[in-house]
Amino acid sequence: MKSNIFKNSKNVFLDIVNAEDYIQIDRVSKMYHSFKDSVNKPLKMLLLYGKPGTGKSMFLTKLYHDLLSSRIVYLYQTPILDDSEFFKTLAKDILDVKYQGDLNFTQFMKILENRALDYVPIVLLDEAQLYSNFLIEKIRLLSDTRKIKFVITLHKTEKEDLIAKEHFQTRIWDSIELKNASASELKVYIQKKLMKANCFDSANMFKDSSVKLIHNLTHGNYRDTNKLLYILFDIYSHYHENNPAKINTISISNKIIEMSAIHTGLIHV
């Protein structure tokens, strides 16, 4: 029996955000570089927004990774929702001050003003739509001091659009909206991702027509595509071990794509 090439392929599509797994997609790549340049300009704040699953966390993680060598940069992937905890974490990381008890905004500002940093630390906040309006307002005030530069990501819904407008409109110098992949971008994404993990055989199985069907089902959303392909390779693995006559290794079967879509809820039966 041939080794199961599908097991490795399956793990490629685990929903993990890791800078090493970042895939360059032409359009996003251009945006990325201009955004990265903006970080070095004297701007108060940068905003990254888009629907869930469009690659914001991935983008931010990659940015963090790339800035590490040249800048003082901090990444907070999960929001720190408690006000005091948020300021204490910033004090500890940026100012190297370990604070006992509660720390409020006024106290934190005092410490920041008394400390003459000869650089502007960059703070990356993922999932900023989860922060309270109060905290968002304080982040805005902190940005105004130009002593800390914030780069934040927001899910784009109507509500979050409002937050973005109200709190950041006047302060944001640069913002980028991430969008779902087009069918051709999705093909690049899938194949590059598989090839990075040395899954060349399964990468070759993705013909234009299969990718088109996947794109129809996921609308090019990276997270939905990951979920779908994870299940797809799970099913392939299963057939490979139990009923190899049902699969071929030339191209991805539409039937299995649709079965995966049914399982992940992209198709309702």
Ligand X SMILES: Nc1ncnc2c1ncn2[C@@H]1O[C@H](COP(=O)(O)OP(=O)(O)O)[C@@H](O)[C@H]1O
Strands of the sheet containing 73-76, edge to edge, are 73-76, 122-125, 149-155, 45-50, 172-178
Between 80 and 259, CB nearer to other proteins: 259
Q: How far is the CB of 48 from Mg ion (least distance, A)?
A: 10
Q: What would the DSSP string read from start to end of 116-165? A: --SS--EEEESSGGGS-HHHHHHHHHHHHTTSSEEEEEEE-SHHHHHHII
Q: Residue 149 gets which letter from DSSP? A: E
Chain positions 236 to 265 lying near other proteins, rule: CB under 8 A, are: 238-239, 242, 255, 258-259, 262-263
Residues 168-207: x where in contact with ligand X by CB under 6 A, - otherwise, as a string: ----------------------------------------
Instruction: Give CA angle at 32 (193, 26), nearest 5°.
Output: 50
Residues 187-226: x where in contact with other proteins by CB under 8 A, - otherwise, as a string: ----------------------------------------
Q: Measured in whole angstroms, how far is the alpha carbon of residue 46 from the centre of its chain? A: 15
Which residue, 128, 126, 160, is CA-closest to 19?
A: 126
Q: How far is the CB of 181 from ligand X (least distance, A)?
A: 8
State the number of binding residues for ligand X (CB under 6 A). 18
Q: What token pair was written down for 18?
A: 């890791």
Residues 13-32: x where in contact with ligand X by CB under 6 A, - otherwise, as a string: --xxx---xxx-x-------
With CB under 5 A as the contact rule, the residue among 54, 57, 237, 260 that binds Mg ion is 57
Between 135 and 261, CB nearer to other proteins: 261
Where do we find the tokens 């983008």? 59
Q: How far apart are CA 145 and CA 61, in angstroms?
A: 25
Q: How far is the CB of 62 from Mg ion (least distance, A)?
A: 13
Between 116 and 245, CB nearer to other proteins: 245
Q: Kind and range of the H or E element at 65?
A: helix 56-67
Tell me: does residue 234 bind other proteins (CB under 8 A): yes
Instruction: Tell me the torsion sign for CA atoms 128, 142, 40, 171.
Output: positive
Name the residues that contact Mg ion, by CB under 5 A.
57
Q: Which residues bind ligand X (CB under 6 A)?
A: 15-17, 21-23, 25, 50, 52-58, 222-223, 226
